[in-house]
Amino acid sequence: MLSRAARAGAKAAHGASSNSKLCSKLYSSSSVLSSPEMHGTTILAVRKDSTLCMIGDGQVSLGSIVVKPNAKKVRRLRPNIVTGFAGSTADAFTLLERLESRIEAFEGQGITRPCVELAKAWRTDKYLRRLEAVLLVADRKNTYELTGNGDVLESSDGIMGVGSGGAYALAAARALKDVEGMGAEEIARKAMEVASDMCVYTNKEFVVEVINLDDEEEEGEEEGKKKNEGKEEEEEEEKKDEDEK
């Protein structure tokens, strides 16, 4: 049998242990409140017929609070290159700057090489690997998803979605792709409406960028015409020189 003093000491020790556990819980709760989870957004790219459409919502959420409803998360880097991001805004802008520098370094070679080079740096660089964001990059020929794991994922059907509501938008867009009379932009907008109705971190303040895929053929035809005209002019000048001689 324990003496009264021993029992009192045991109760005091148990009370101290309970208080320490309570303090630990309170501390962990306060730390969560002081640094709430940053939730993503929804970015969707749809490629159909002669049009590529990339669309994103404008909501920025910090925990359960909507910080900004009209952020621009879809941007045009070049006349024929568009990109969208989900995740931390500061991290995404850092990655976009790196992507632009690589596009400049490999100008005229499309987006495949720049995306691969960025993914390699993102995976191996000690600073970049801490950045928390996902990029969706598209041009007239390709659509890629870039992640911090070194992934460069390509769409198999011309449709890709990222962010907290990306799966909803992707499923809706795939369901609508074969509907006759619906273009890429119409499909993208409808799919984003579905995602915004299901994902609490996605709103209806959409930002849209569209690329006309026929422009490349038209530019190629114009360049071909210019080359042919230049050759004809050179031939005419050569003939004139020969006649003068």
| Residues forming the active site | 41
Q: Which helix (H) or strand (E) holds 8?
A: helix 4-34
Q: Which two tokens stand for residue 150?
A: 């070194």
Block residue for tokens 């500061």: 90
CA dist., res. 180 & res. 169, Å (int): 19
Residue 54 bridge partners (DSSP): 45, 209
Q: DSSP of 53-101, one letter per residue?
A: EEEE---EEETTEEEES----EEEEETTEEEEEEE-HHHHHHHHHHHHH
Residue 193: strand, helix, or coil: helix
Q: Is 73 exposed, middle or buried (0-12, 13-18, 19+ CB in 10 A)?
A: buried
Instruction: Identify the DSSP state of 46.
Output: E
Residue 206: strand, helix, or coil: coil
CA dist., res. 19 & res. 139, Å (int): 59
Q: Which two tokens stand for residue 101?
A: 């520098």
Cβ atoms of 137 and 115 within 8 Å: the answer is: yes
Q: Which helix (H) or strand (E) holds 209?
A: strand 207-212
